[in-house]
Amino acid sequence: MRLAELLPVYIAFASMLTGQAQTFPLARPTRPASFPLQRPAITGSVVAWGSNVGGQTPVPDGNSFVAIASGQAATTALRSDGTLGIWGLDNKVRTVPNNVSNVVAVSIGVSHRVALKDDGTVVAWGASDNNTLNIPNGLTGVVAIAAGNGYTLALKSNGTVVGWGNNQYGNLTSALDLVDVVAIAAGGSAYSVALKQDGTVVAWGNSSNGQTNVPAGLTDVVAISAGSSATLALRRDGTVVAWGQYFDALGGENGDGAYVAATVPADLKDVVAMAAGLEHALALKADHTVVAWGGNSMGQLNVPHLLTDIVAVSACSTHSVALQSEGITGPRQAKAVAVIVDGKLVGLSVSDSGSGYPQPPVVVISGGGGADATAVATMFDGHVTGFTIANQGSGYVSAPTVLVASPPFPLAAEIEVSRVNVKARTALGRKYQYQASKDLQLWTAVGPAFVASAESIAQEFIVADTGDFFRLVEVP
């Protein structure tokens, strides 16, 4: 069995969550109708686990990534400025060509990479075996890409599919006749999958492990993923259907590996995105958590403890990758406990920092038999970090528990002190402005707007000169 036959290929531009709450049934996918194409708006940092034989899991620092892709012992991430970060093995493809800029999606094949630019053109680099780098002349209007084992598929804005490279198993042939396609996937064992606008799935090419045998009657599909020899389909109700086979590296009579039927956990539901690999698969749930199943030969199922706020997932041979955007879960309640001294409220201890606050919410505490006390939440990086007491109140005979809630989406930092150093995380290339307020209602600009040139910034303000509250906001 050749190694190349086992390598899965993950379609880099995975289903991405938005900051809004996911509801079911899930919306049907559509093709972009105009150019330039847009990158995902949500930025985050990369988390990886499992095999590290090529240095693919110690990910670089930074929180300006918007999409992820993984290949054999390698990982690639797309930044918000349209550039790529690449780490791990694959020496032939780690050096990004000079013409790879303004990227909106990237896909990893067995020995080549493909990038989609915002103008609908495609760039490929890496090994040139089987004409993998020979992009058809004049190819434009591309809205999605999928790199497989020695070949590439491109979905055009008119719903047709173009393919080039190795066609040994007929993995390119059927693409020529397809119409009304909204998503594509390319598998590591040289097979292809397409999702049509009506929610049905078509698969063709190598079917040695049943990976092209689409279940009869499968409908209402909103996303697809092709691993090495296992295929996943996500349905509108948040359930996942699998067919084909995973590779069990520890199976077989001699422990040298064997294929097993691709399955899905019986209780898996509320899924909004998924990724198929060689031995395993990942599912991203509506609550931004990750579920992993299948083979665990290199720890690829060992999802980090308490991993949350995930917006995309990628599964490869023996490692897993996720994109984490802190605070994306929106209006989470922050839990605080009142501190009482001599019957007076003197402070609040935050026991659950929560997230998702667009401004420091005012909290009213009631309990015992005394007057109401008020406090203003202090925040940093979208998390409640403490409370400033505005009115101590009186008459409390116990320490009441307080729940704080507010509308979704955090600003990078808001805090109430006499002198404040506002530290915030920013996305490269995006425009921001500092604002100040005395009443949390009227906000005025403090200095001109600016374009972020770093992933974190800091600015000190004196409250007496400008206001009582400060925030950093993204502006048009």
- Dump pLDDT digits (tens) for 24-34: 888 888 898 89
Residues 130 and 150: their CA atoms lie apart, in Å, by: 6
Residues 169-196 as b/e (b if ≥16 CB within 10 A, e otherwise) read bbbbebbeebeebbbbbbbbbbbbbbbb
* Residue type, position 275, single letter: A
SS3 category, 130: helix
Burial class (CB in 10 A: 0-12, 13-18, 19+), 198: exposed
pLDDT number for residue 241:
98
With cut-offs at 50, 70 and 90, classify the pLDDT of residue 334: low
For the segment 308-329, the average pLDDT, to the nearest whole number, is 83
Given a cut of 80, whether residue 447 has pLDDT beyond it is yes
Does the domain formed by 3-324 have CATH 3.30.390.30? no
- Dump pLDDT digits (tens) for 383-401: 566 666 766 666 555 555 5
DSSP 3-state helix, strand, coil percentages of the chain (rounded to 5)?
5, 45, 55
- Structure tokens that stand for 279 in this block: 């031995």
Contact (Cβ atoms closer than 8 angstroms) between residue 459 and residue 422? yes
Position with higher pLDDT, 476 vs 279 = 279
Residues 363-388 as b/e (b if ≥16 CB within 10 A, e otherwise) read bebebbebeebbbbbbbbbbbbebbb
- Dump pLDDT digits (tens) for 185-243: 999 889 999 999 999 999 999 999 999 999 999 999 999 999 999 999 999 999 999 99
Task: Map 191-248 to HEC letters.
Answer: EEEEEECCCCEEEEECCCCCCCCCCCCCCCEEEEEECCCEEEEEECCCCEEEEEEEEE
pLDDT number for residue 190:
92
With cut-offs at 50, 70 and 90, classify the pLDDT of residue 126: confident
pLDDT number for residue 71:
80
Burial class (CB in 10 A: 0-12, 13-18, 19+), 136: exposed
SS3 category, 289: coil
Given a cut of 60, whether residue 91 has pLDDT beyond it is no
pLDDT number for residue 131:
86
* Residue type, position 475, single letter: V
pLDDT number for residue 13:
30
Contact (Cβ atoms closer than 8 angstroms) between residue 171 and residue 190? yes
Q: pTM for this structure?
A: 0.69
Residue holding tokens 């600009």? 445
Position with higher pLDDT, 58 vs 86 = 86
pLDDT number for residue 235:
97
